[in-house]
Amino acid sequence: MIPYYKTMIGKRDVLTKRLNIDRLDMPVDVIRAEEGLVVNHEYLNLVGYFTWEDFRLAYDSEKKIIEYADKNSKTAKEFEQVIEELVDQEKFDVENLSNHEVGIASLVFALSAFCCAPISGCRAHPNGSYSDAPSVGLYAPKRKAKTLLRIAQYSTVGIVNNDNMDAAGGIEIYAHTVTDLMQYAHNLFVSQNPSAKNKRLIK
């Protein structure tokens, strides 16, 4: 069972798709940090680090893990346990995720290949976590942020300004489920790789 997480704004469970482009920034001192960040002690500068081929491999592995966990769990806690077991047992070529968390890895890879700076993320966990819903925080050049916003308009995700990372000017992409984040990552992939348009990777 793939967990569904509410994204509450006040009393409404909504996905906001709004960015103030003028507020965005690419803080070089944060992005090039070599000793971790306040919001992510294991941070690495991934701007342009992964390729779209790296994304494809990571996506394929992540998809298999999520589908297996979905079929072999009945609760959010069981879903979490199955994923942890699969990672520990190194199933489904989990090494393709380069130690990124299952559920957000595809989006991290896509943002990296798109030359943005993913800073932190969390798939959300039933026993409490860094994030109330699956999400990734990032910095992006303004012209690329416009593309991210455009793709969000036809994806089941929210995208908003985030000034609560190590520096202001960031972006938060979030969703109700990890598969929604994965679909958004795939939509970004297709936007940059038109030949992949007809390859539907999520059922």
pLDDT tens-digit map of 58-89? 999 999 999 999 999 999 999 999 999 999 99
pLDDT tens-digit map of 100-111? 999 999 999 999
CA–CA separation, 6 and 120 (whole Å): 20
pLDDT attached to residue 131 = 85
Q: Can you tell me whether residue 170 is helix, strand or coil?
A: strand
Asked whether 119 and 165 are in contact (CB, 8 A), the reply is yes
Q: Average pLDDT across each block of 10 residues of the chain; the chain has 203 residues. List them in order.
A: 83 86 96 91 96 97 98 97 97 97 98 98 87 95 97 96 95 97 97 72 42
**Is 203 a domain residue?**
no
Identify residue 3 by its one-letter amino acid code: P
Helices 105-113 and 178-192 cross at an angle (nearest 10°) of: 20
Counting the structural domains of the chain, the total is 1
Asked whether 161 and 152 are in contact (CB, 8 A), the reply is no
Give the CA count within 13 Å in the CB-facing half-sphere of 188. Answer: 32
pLDDT tens-digit map of 182-196? 999 999 999 998 877
Which residues form the domain of 29?
A: 8-196
Claim: this prediction has a pTM higher than 0.85: yes
**Is 1 a domain residue?**
no
DSSP H helices, 24-114, are 28-31, 52-71, 76-88, 105-113
Give the CA count within 13 Å in the CB-facing half-sphere of 154. Answer: 8
pLDDT attached to residue 13 = 75
Q: What are phi and psi of 69, to 5 degrees?
A: -65, -40
Closest C-alpha to 173, from 203, 202, 131: 131
DSSP secondary structure letters along 161-175: EE--SSSSSEEEEE-
**Is 51 a domain residue?**
yes
Give strand pairing partners of 173.
136, 159
**Is 202 a domain residue?**
no
**Is 33 a domain residue?**
yes
Asked whether 31 and 155 are in contact (CB, 8 A), the reply is no
Query: How remote is the C-alpha of 110 from its chain's centroid?
Result: 8
